[in-house]
């Protein structure tokens, strides 16, 4: 088995949602596992002195159009959530709680459930009741999930993951690290596939 690749996502990132739907199949085709990392995009933006694309007035209208168009291009259902962006720390803490105490499979299933609920139904994951409903529908014990995301242990766990992501050079989401090579954005799918195919010309060290 070749080394796993790292996939960093935020529950409030449309491009993360799109990437979450293809990353496993692409990786599997090339004999790779995927290590999923729920992070907070806002924290990485802050570290890199960047802003959300929708924070810029002129770019906002384009971005909203591009989110939906990029989903159509990937053949995925998509709705622009009425509330966007949203704070996603509770959804992310549930991810790490499942990851560490249940299994990575359960954590990834939760990532899919949360991303799909938000980007195909507009379910506001920052609202406690909505989050409980999404958790229940995805087979979790909602009370246990809530206990986890209010527990300092999982708050700290997410904080460590954000710090580790920033230390690894992550400044946005989705972000991928493959064999030490960083790729930023859903639109780097083609380059990631080329890299995984092992084309020596493409992989050579830059400069």
Helices vs strands, H then E, count in the chain: 10, 4
Which residue, 154 or 161, is less far from a copy of itself as judged by CB?
161
Paired strand residues for 183? 176
Q: Which helix (H) or strand (E) holds 184?
A: strand 181-184
Residues 1, 25, 49, 180: which binds a copy of itself (CB under 8 A)? 49
Q: How many residues bind a copy of itself (CB under 8 A)?
A: 34
- Comparing CB distances to a copy of itself, the nearer of 22 and 104 is 22
CB of 25 to a copy of itself, least distance (A): 17
Map residues 89-128 to x or -, x wherever contact with a copy of itself holds by CB under 8 A: ----------------------------------------
> What is the Cα–Cα distance from 64 to 53, expressed in whole angstroms?
9
Taking CB under 8 A as the criterion, the residue among 12, 13, 20, 70 binding a copy of itself is: 70
> What Rg value do the Cα atoms of the chain yield, rounded?
17
Determine, following the binding rule CB under 8 A, whether residue 171 of this chain makes contact with a copy of itself: yes
- Supply the minimum distance, in Å, between the C-beta of residue 24 and a copy of itself: 21
Residue 52 beta carbon to a copy of itself: minimum distance, rounded to whole angstroms:
12
- How far apart (Å, rounded) are the C-alpha atoms in residues 95 and 161? 11
- Those residues whose C-beta lies under 8 Å from the C-beta of residue 154, and which sit 6 or more positions away, are 93, 94, 96, 97, 148
Distance CA 202, CA 178 (A): 13
Q: Under 8 Å CB-to-CB from 62, ≥6 apart: which residues?
A: none
Q: Which residues bind a copy of itself (CB under 8 A)?
A: 47-50, 56-59, 61-62, 64-66, 68-70, 72-73, 80, 169, 171, 182, 184-185, 187-188, 190-191, 194, 201-202, 204, 206-207
């Amino acid at each position: 088995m070749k080394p796993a690749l790292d996939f960093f996502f935020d529950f409030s990132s449309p491009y993360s949602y799109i990437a979450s739907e293809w990353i496993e199949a692409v990786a599997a085709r090339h004999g790779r596992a995927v290590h999923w990392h729920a992070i907070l995009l806002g924290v990485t933006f802050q570290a890199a002195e960047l802003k959300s694309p929708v924070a810029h007035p002129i770019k906002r209208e384009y971005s909203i159009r591009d989110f939906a168009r990029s989903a159509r291009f990937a053949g995925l259902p998509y709705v622009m959530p009425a509330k966007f962006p949203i704070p996603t720390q509770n959804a992310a803490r549930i991810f790490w709680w499942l990851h560490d105490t249940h299994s990575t499979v359960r954590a990834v299933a939760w990532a899919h459930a949360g991303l799909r609920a938000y980007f195909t139904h507009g379910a506001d994951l920052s609202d406690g009741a909505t989050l409980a409903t999404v958790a229940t529908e995805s087979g979790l014990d909602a009370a246990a999930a809530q206990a986890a995301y209010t527990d300092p242990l999982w708050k700290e766990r997410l904080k460590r993951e954000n710090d580790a992501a920033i230390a690894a050079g992550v400044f946005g989401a989705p972000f991928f690290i493959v064999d030490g090579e960083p790729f930023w954005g859903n639109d780097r799918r083609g380059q990631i596939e080329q890299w995984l195919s092992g084309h020596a010309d493409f992989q050579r060290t830059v400069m």
